[in-house]
C-alpha cells in the first residue's frame, strides 16, 4: 500500500524471495501498475483523491489473446513467398503475423493468432490445449500445412490471454474518445495525485499510443521531465484533453470483431 508521510511517498510490499514486508520511502512514486490491478487495491480509497480514484476505476483494459507456433519448415516463405507482414482473416484467430528475420533458415516461429475484445474473451476462456486446437483450425484456412502436426507440432505451440495474467488483467487500455467519461478520466490520470503531486501513473495506458511500447516510453519520459522541471507542469496538465482511440491505434479501424 502507498501512503503519504510528510509530503513523501511510502510504499510497503511483500518480498517473495526473502520473505516479509519491505517499506521504501521516496519523494515521488512513478507507477506503471496496470489500471485494472491498481483499481483492485484495497487501500485505493484511503490513499487517493476521489476524482483520481474515479479516473482509475474508469480505465478498463481490453481482453487480448495471442498464440505462437514454431514450425519445422518455413512453408510460408518457400510456398507463398511471404517474408514478414500480417494476414487478416474473418476467424477467431483474427490475424497471423509472419517473422521478418532469419529468412531461409530451417525452422521458424510465427504468431498464429492475435485477437481482442469478444474473440479474445472466448479464446481466453478455453484451456491451453483447446485454444491451440481452435487456433490451428483457423490457421489451416490460411495455410493448409497447419493440418500436419509433424510440420507444426502442438508441443511447439503456446498461448497467452493477458486478461488472465494476475498482474496485468488485459492487453491495453481501452479508451474511447467518443465517451466523455473516458476523456475526463484520461485527462485526470495525466496529472499527479497526493498532497504535493507525488504519485504519477505512467505507461502506454496513459499515453497517446495505448498498446505500443513507444507509448510507454513516451509517458515515462514525459513524467520524469515534469518532475525534474516542475515549472513546466502546466504544459502537461490541460483541463480538457481527448482520450486516444484505442480501436484505430491498436486494433485497426477495419478490424474484425464478430
Determine, yes or no, domain membership for 104.
yes
The reported pLDDT for the residue numbered 238 is 56
72 and 153 both lie in a single domain: yes
Final residue before a domain boundary, out of 106, 134, 164: 164
Phi, psi of 233 (to 5 degrees): -60, -30
CATH code, 215: 3.50.50.60
The reported pLDDT for the residue numbered 255 is 47
| Global pTM value | 0.86
The reported pLDDT for the residue numbered 10 is 86
178 and 56 both lie in a single domain: yes
77 and 55 both lie in a single domain: no
- Taking only the tens of pLDDT, the chain with its 258 residues reads 455 555 688 888 889 998 999 999 999 999 999 999 999 887 777 788 999 999 999 999 999 999 999 999 999 999 999 999 999 999 999 999 999 999 999 999 999 999 999 999 999 999 999 999 999 999 999 999 999 999 999 999 999 999 999 999 999 999 999 999 999 999 999 999 987 789 999 999 999 999 999 999 999 999 999 999 877 665 545 567 899 999 999 987 544 444
56 and 177 both lie in a single domain: yes
Parent domain of 86: 64-164
Q: Which three cell numbers stand for residue 106?
A: 530451417
The reported pLDDT for the residue numbered 110 is 96
pLDDT digits (tens, 9 = 90+) for 37-76: 999 887 777 788 999 999 999 999 999 999 999 999 999 9
Q: Which position has the grid cell 485527462?
A: 187
Amino acid at each position: 500500500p502507498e501512503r503519504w508521510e510528510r509530503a513523501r511517498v511510502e510504499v510497503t510490499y511483500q518480498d517473495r524471495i526473502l520473505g516479509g514486508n519491505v517499506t521504501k520511502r521516496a519523494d515521488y512514486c512513478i507507477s506503471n501498475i496496470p489500471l485494472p490491478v491498481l483499481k483492485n487495491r484495497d487501500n485505493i480509497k484511503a490513499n487517493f483523491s476521489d476524482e483520481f480514484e474515479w479516473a482509475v476505476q474508469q480505465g478498463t483494459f481490453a481482453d487480448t489473446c495471442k498464440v505462437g507456433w514454431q514450425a519445422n519448415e518455413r512453408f510460408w516463405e518457400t510456398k507463398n513467398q511471404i517474408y514478414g507482414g500480417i494476414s487478416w482473416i474473418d476467424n477467431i484467430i483474427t490475424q497471423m503475423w509472419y517473422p521478418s528475420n532469419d529468412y531461409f533458415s530451417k525452422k521458424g516461429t510465427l504468431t498464429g493468432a492475435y485477437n481482442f475484445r469478444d474473440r479474445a474473451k472466448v479464446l481466453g476462456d478455453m484451456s491451453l490445449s483447446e485454444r491451440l486446437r481452435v487456433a490451428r483450425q483457423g490457421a489451416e484456412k490460411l495455410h493448409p500445412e497447419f493440418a500436419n502436426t509433424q510440420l507444426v507440432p502442438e508441443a511447439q505451440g503456446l498461448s497467452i490471454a493477458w486478461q488472465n495474467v494476475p498482474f496485468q488483467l488485459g492487453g491495453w487500455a481501452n479508451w474511447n474518445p467518443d465517451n466523455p467519461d473516458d476523456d475526463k478520466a484520461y485527462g485526470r490520470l495525466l496529472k499527479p495525485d497526493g498532497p504535493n503531486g507525488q504519485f504519477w501513473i505512467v505507461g502506454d495506458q496513459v499515453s497517446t499510443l495505448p498498446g505500443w511500447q513507444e507509448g510507454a516510453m513516451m509517458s515515462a519520459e514525459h513524467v520524469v521531465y515534469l518532475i525534474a522541471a516542475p515549472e513546466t507542469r502546466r504544459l502537461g496538465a490541460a483541463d480538457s484533453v481527448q482520450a486516444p482511440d484505442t480501436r484505430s491505434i491498436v486494433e485497426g479501424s477495419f478490424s474484425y470483431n464478430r
